[in-house]
Chain A
Amino acid sequence: MTQPSIFFEEVNERQGTFHRRTVVLGAFAGLGVTSLVARLAYLQLFETQRYEKMAVSNQFNFKLLPAPRGVIVDRNGAVLAANRPNFRLMVARDGGMDPETTLHTLAEFVPLDAVRQRRLLKDINAAPKRAPIQVMEDMSWEQFTAISVREPELPGVSADMGEVRVYPYGGAFAHVIGYVAKVNREDIAPTGPNADPIMLHPGFRIGRQGVEKAFDIDLRGKPGAEKVEVDANGRQVREDPNGDIAATPGKEIQLTLDVDVQLRAEEVFAAESGAAVVMDCRNGDILCMFSGPSFDANRFVRGLTGAEYRALSTYDHKPLFNKALTATYPPGSTFKTMVALSALENGYDPNTVHVCSGRWFFGRTWKCDQVHGAQNMHNAIATSCDIYFYQTALAIGPDKIADTARKFGLGEIFDIGIPGQKKGLVPDTAYKKRRFPKDPKWHPGETPSMGIGQGYTNLNPLQLCVMTSRIANGEKALHPRLIRSIGGVEQKSGAAWGELPVDKNHLLFVREAMAAVTTGIGTAARVSDLGLGPIKMAGKTGTAQAYSYGAGRGVHGTAGAWKLRDHAWFVAFAPYDDPRYAISVLVEHGGFGASAAAPKAREIMRTVLLKDAEVMQRVQTVTPMPPAPEESPPAVTPDPGAKV
């Protein structure tokens, strides 16, 4: 037997130690549990609000919804730019899906060719995860429902209804209203309104031209948000319609334009190149601002193909150009009104007679297109005699002519709300000095050209319409107004810009001379007959050289290559005895003003006048009734007894 190695007292000692140490272990465990409880109390009782907030912000997301874009209407409320529903198909990268297969599957329901699939695949892979990329828009109802029912089996695919901009009149207003398009990377700014996250929404469109661009911020409105519950992967679990934030629609913008007038202008121009501007010469409202040929703005909303854009941008009739504002042309004989007024203002006797023999020598031989014989100023305007105005201009000098022209808004940029106006040029000696340092002197030989609106003189159709309006108005320095109201707030009237500092009698003289243009011996006598009885139009033709043939005007100006033909002008106001409307028409390379521009002006002006009830009252003069017969019919008196 071996000795037991552990003795009884030792066993007792071990046991005692163990029991004491067990208490220590128990105490440790108790301390541990207590600290856990303390930590729980801290988190769950004291910090609970903070963590509740974090849990809620985990749980709910707000999905931005673009606001309906503000509607653009004409002066009578006809809609020029609106929104229509649009069924869109979107694909976003998401877990458990392969974009390539998904696109392949989608191609069974909507037309998606291989090229487009490749391009979309690149876009989808480049976009952040779960950022939807638009695959198709304007799906038919059948396509939309076909995709909708399969949405659960197609992760990352969504079909929804958005809004798309629509321009009911297609091209008629394209230059004024412009269009909207998808947001580019360059559009997104680090600060300001273009930093808004709504810019990244696939349904958002940004204004690109005209009113859409100039008033983009007003039209955008305030985006709303849809409250959705999401899981940790950002997938939408359910919607919470009570938590939605409604979008504030964009402001409505009312223009001073009139749909009927604008459409008539589009009609009369057909495929010709040019511009027409109509103003109310009592308050400056622009009733029509058309530039032809135009383009369908709706195509731009959807996105042009490269070929389409190239076709538009390389066509020599320049459809993308707003010729009413952005292009300047020599005003030709329409400028004679300014020369005449300047002469009158500077004491030139209108009864001064110059004899037109078809040619006049001053340094070189200057021509006139006809032999007008002896002319006073009145007749010279009516017949548009160049010889008369060569000499009148020479007598007054360029600075005085320029001074008068500027009083009528020529060479000025007007704040009509949309960008792209060209200033043009009314030359004077200071200009010559500034622009041609090597030949700073204004030579007398340059003045006759200016007298007939040629030479350096370059103006846009809007400026000529303003000029005509001021002549017709006679009192106010009218400004053109295109934007009538923004979100119901009326904009400043065009008549509120002060007086026209020109002698009223001189203006009357010019108006009468312009009336003579459309009657009797006038250059536009027959072509400007409105056919509205007593309502007559007064105007001035212009035929401006676009290209110098060296020998002056000739058959080339109206019959040569299109690019080299003269520009045709006509400015007019009506009714001439009570001016209400002024018009300027430019037909680019149209030939003679009287034959190319005046008939268009007449048609557009007719439309304007037919819409004016007061003017129409004068046209439809009541035929006096024949005298009433002696015996009057028996008076019918109501029977008091029949009353209930």
Chain B
Amino acid sequence: MTVSALTRPGERDRLIVKLSELDWVFVLVLSLIAGAGALMLFSIAGSSWTPWAAAHVARFGICLLMMIALAMIDIRVWFALAYPIYGLGLLLLVAVEAVGDIRLGAQRWLSIGSFSFQPSEVMKLGIVLALARLYHGVSAERARLSWWLLIPAMMIGVPVLLVAHQPDLGTAMLIALTGAAIVMLAGLSWKIIGAAVVGALAVIPPFVLFGMHDYQRQRVLTFLDPESDPSGSGYHILQSMIALGSGGLLGKGYGLGSQSQLNFLPEKQTDFIFATLAEEFGFVGCVSLLILYAAAIFMALRTSYLSHSHFGRLGAAGVTATFTLYVMINGAMVMGLAPVVGVPMPMLSYGGTVMLTVMIGFGLVQSVRVHRYAEVTSGKGSFV
């Protein structure tokens, strides 16, 4: 990276400069991932653009334009909006608790007119922005080990509990882990990290046994032994592993995956699209895709590394952590390493919500990149 025009205050606000400073390789990587998704969606629809592939491409196009637009927004605007967005997220979560629709047995959706969405998606971004904003004005000492840490703990804990109550354990876990990643990156003492890990490990088994809904517990137990009930609750995991395993080194060929083409694979266009790709393109295809994901993660993390503002660093890293968690959780689930949770593979899976969330996040990351030399000064580590 050459010392760019960004270092010169007069030029760095020009749109053309900002655009040229976007990470275009990153854009290319994201496009390749989304393209792979479109390719697979075309295949499983029986070589048809409808119903999924065309919509996927269109959505990605719109989201990409939006990401670029968001990247142009000054980092200080993001900074100023951090708490309001978080607050809005909290309000919506409370609202959904009160008046939300119940779909598929969980109260996750909020309808405004004909438009309905999941407030927990707002919170995925809100938690990143708010924690970055919070830590921006906090000394290393406080962030390491102090009673002050109860503030970020509460900021994470409240939305996590609200989302978990919907119940949407997958998203709750995602928000909790994203928040934990930011707190860790901000310099939390290793002692607390160690204690938290040990505590979490100790809490999980009793939670699985007593704190979960039956279907959630069933999923966990099934994950531990998928072949115990191959036609029932173990069906998803087993069929997914069959699709993966039977793909072999080079796959069965494009459009020739029997597991996905004949509908043995459940949720083949959303949560299990990775298994479709694995079946038709084999180990080689899977590793290629994972390399693309690793590259995206690396580039986003590098952006956070370059930022001169703490808000920028933590914000970009927080989004990266969310994205990484999506990939890991979905990958592990498809490969039978994790219980079935409704977490899609970002950019690859069909579905607008997650793509929108992730691309808005990447808009923040790119904004951090474009405004990496900008001074973010209004923060004092206090509440607005």
Contact = CB atoms under 8 A, between A and B. Distances in A.
A21 B185 contact: yes
A308 to B, nearest CB: 44
A6 B245 contact: no
Contacts of B137: 5-6
A40 B241 CA distance: 10
B310 interface: yes
Contacts of A346: none
A17 B144 CA distance: 10
Given A40-B278, A44-B245, A14 B187 contact: yes
Interface string A11-55: 101110111011011101110110111011101110110111011
B184 interface: yes
A232 B264 contact: yes
Given A22-B301, A55-B258, A36 B332 contact: yes
B139 A6 contact: yes
Interface residues of A, number: 45
Interface in B64-81: none
Given A55-B259, A59-B262, A26 B298 contact: yes
B301 A29 contact: yes
B107 interface: no
Nearest to A30: B294
B286 A44 contact: yes
A22 to B, nearest CB: 6
A233 interface: yes
A13 B140 contact: yes
Q: Which of B141, B244, B246, B314 has the most CB of A within 10 A?
A: B246
A25 B259 CA distance: 36
B31 interface: no
B286 A21 contact: no
Contact of A58 (B143, B242, B380): B242
A37 B187 CA distance: 30
Nearest to A58: B264
A403 interface: no
B290 interface: yes
Secondary structure of the A contact surface, majority rule = helix
Interface string B191-226: 000000000000000000000000000000000000
A10 interface: yes
A144 to B, nearest CB: 29
A43 B244 contact: yes
Nearest to A233: B263
Contacts of A50: 245
Given A21-B184, A52-B245, A33 B293 contact: yes
B248 A17 contact: no
Contacts of B262: 58-59, 229-232, 237
A22 B321 CA distance: 10
A25 B141 CA distance: 21
B248 A36 contact: no
Interface in B258-305: 258-259, 262-264, 278, 282-283, 286-287, 290, 293-294, 297-298, 301, 304-305
Given A47-B245, A52-B246, A59-B258, A10 B139 contact: yes
Contacts of A5: 137, 139, 380-381
Interface in A416-433: none
A235 to B, nearest CB: 9
Interface string B34-67: 0000000000000000000000000000000000
Nearest to B251: A44
Contact of B244 (A37, A44, A233): A44
A36 B329 CA distance: 10
B242 A54 contact: yes
Contacts of B317: 18, 22, 25
Contacts of A19: 305
B286 A17 contact: no
B314 A18 contact: yes
Contact of B140 (A10, A51, A54): A10
Contacts of B181: 25
A44 B293 contact: no
A34 to B, nearest CB: 9
B174 interface: no
Contacts of B245: 43-44, 47-48, 50-52, 54-55
Contacts of B328: 29, 32, 36
B337 interface: yes
B140 A40 contact: no
A508 B124 CA distance: 114
B324 interface: yes
Shortest 6 CB-CB contacts between residues of A and residues of B = A51-B245, A55-B246, A17-B187, A232-B263, A231-B262, A44-B283
Given A32-B328, A32-B331, A55-B242, 8 more contacts: A18-B310, A29-B328, A33-B290, A35-B337, A36-B335, A43-B245, A44-B282, A59-B264
Interface of B: 137-141, 143-144, 181, 184-187, 239, 241-249, 258-259, 262-264, 278, 282-283, 286-287, 290, 293-294, 297-298, 301, 304-305, 310, 313-314, 317, 320-321, 324, 327-328, 331-332, 335-337, 380-381
10 contacts: A14-B186, A15-B310, A18-B185, A21-B185, A25-B301, A32-B324, A32-B327, A51-B242, A231-B264, A237-B262
